Amino acid sequence: MDEPIRVGLIGAGQMGLWHARCLAHDIQQAELAAAADPDEDAARRAAALAPGARWSTSHEAILSDPSIRAVVIASPDGTHARIIEEAAQAGKDVFCEKPLATDLAEADAALAAVASHGVKLQVGFQRRFDPAYQRAREIIAAGELGPVELAVATTRDPLESGRPGAGKNAAIFIQTTIHDLDSLRYLTGLEVVQVYANASYFGEGPAEDEVDTAAVILRFQTGALATITDSWRAAYGYDVQVEVMGPKGKIQVGSDRQTAVRRFDAQGVHHDHVYWYIDRFGQAYRREMEHFIECVARGVTPDVGGADARAAQALAEAAARSLREGRPVDVPLPA
């Protein structure tokens, strides 16, 4: 086995901790070398996953460590672009959770830094590493549905995942809808030319400027249409589905049951529903990290890089603008 890739974790919240576990336990070629988080406990907890891993409350310690070859950024969304730039300047390969940035100008600056420093960048669109999404894309790409005509995507996060204030500035588009936007681009292989969005807020407290429920229509370059409905208020769990139709048929990727138990009684038939995103996509998160580590080790460009991340972000911003302006918004094709 080659020398393991030493990786530093920047941001040790729920998602960062999951990535840390994959790096520490599941991916032979990786070594969790350090974890940084402003919350000292979080940083310590992540570092404790791997023998010898160091912790710090600032990510500078990671960027300045020459033994660390790559970083995983799972810090708050608003910090992603800046840390990508810094990491690129420090010559580290970068895995960054989605979104790339919170606005497109920042995203472009980050991508420019990645390009000029010649580092690798992968963005955390884990659905692309889910076997069901991959199989669906294969079928579509092979022309087995004919040209795509219509798609319906939905993401429902469990009710308790919402937090007051989290939905300001149409954050749902950049946090949640972005997954649907990316996976529709991934599945169909098409680019979006127009976006219309509508949204509402049903959470507690004053709703000014908050959104937790959204509906979007996309028009693709070929005239194909898609709808997206997203909500942060699902009582029954985590519900991610997508359906893509062409003249020869449709493909549906659905939410799994959590277990294979069904119960039949005088009230009918009952089974469970996958509740947490890790239960649905745990394997995909592991596989995306394996892909990143392998790309770093072999010096190749990861599959889900800056261009895809930028395209999804441009669509999320168009959705937010459509909502603000109450009209469909045209989107230029990616360069």
State which of positions 33-62 bind its own copies (CB under 8 A). none
d(CA 35, CA 72): 9
Q: Which of residues 126-155 bind its own copies (CB under 8 A)?
A: 131-132, 135-136, 139, 144-145, 147, 149-150, 152, 154
Q: Which of residues 216-235 bind its own copies (CB under 8 A)?
A: 216-217, 219, 223-227, 229, 231, 233-235
In this structure, the number of other CB atoms found within 10 A of the CB of residue 28 comes to: 11
In this structure, the number of other CB atoms found within 10 A of the CB of residue 295 comes to: 20
Q: Is 263 in the site for its own copies (CB under 8 A)?
A: yes
Judged by CB under 8 A, the stretch of 107-115, 116-124, 241-249, 304-312 that binds its own copies is 241-249
Q: How far apart are CB 320 and its own copies at their closest, in Å?
A: 16
Judged by CB under 8 A, the stretch of 76-84, 104-112, 173-181, 212-220 that binds its own copies is 212-220
139 by DSSP, 3-state: which?
A: helix
Among 55, 95, 173, 201, binds its own copies (CB under 8 A): 201
* Residue partners of 160: CB distance under 8 A and separation at least 6: none
d(CA 241, CA 153): 6
d(CA 310, CA 76): 18
Among 71, 214, 284, 331, binds its own copies (CB under 8 A): 214
137 by DSSP, 3-state: which?
A: helix
What mask of x and - would describe binding to its own copies in positions 159 to 198, judged by CB under 8 A?
A: x----------------------------------x-x-x
Q: How far apart are CB 13 and its own copies at their closest, in Å?
A: 22
Q: Is 17 in the site for its own copies (CB under 8 A)?
A: no
Do 235 and 214 contact (CB within 8 A), yes or no? no
Among 14, 40, 209, 257, binds its own copies (CB under 8 A): 257
Among 221, 262, 324, 334, binds its own copies (CB under 8 A): 262
Among 19, 69, 156, 310, binds its own copies (CB under 8 A): 156
Judged by CB under 8 A, the number of residues near its own copies is: 74
Closer to its own copies by Cβ: residue 63 or 190: 190
Q: How far apart are CB 27 and its own copies at their closest, in Å?
A: 9
DSSP collapsed to 3 states, 47-105: HCCCCCCEEECCCHHHHCCCCCCEEEECCCHHHHHHHHHHHHHCCCEEEECCCCCCCHH
Do 228 and 177 contact (CB within 8 A), yes or no? yes
Geometric angle at alpha carbon 215, from 225 and 272, rounded to 5°: 105
12 by DSSP, 3-state: which?
A: coil
Q: What is the DSSP letter of 3?
A: P
Q: Is 248 in the site for its own copies (CB under 8 A)?
A: yes
Among 252, 301, 307, 334, binds its own copies (CB under 8 A): 252
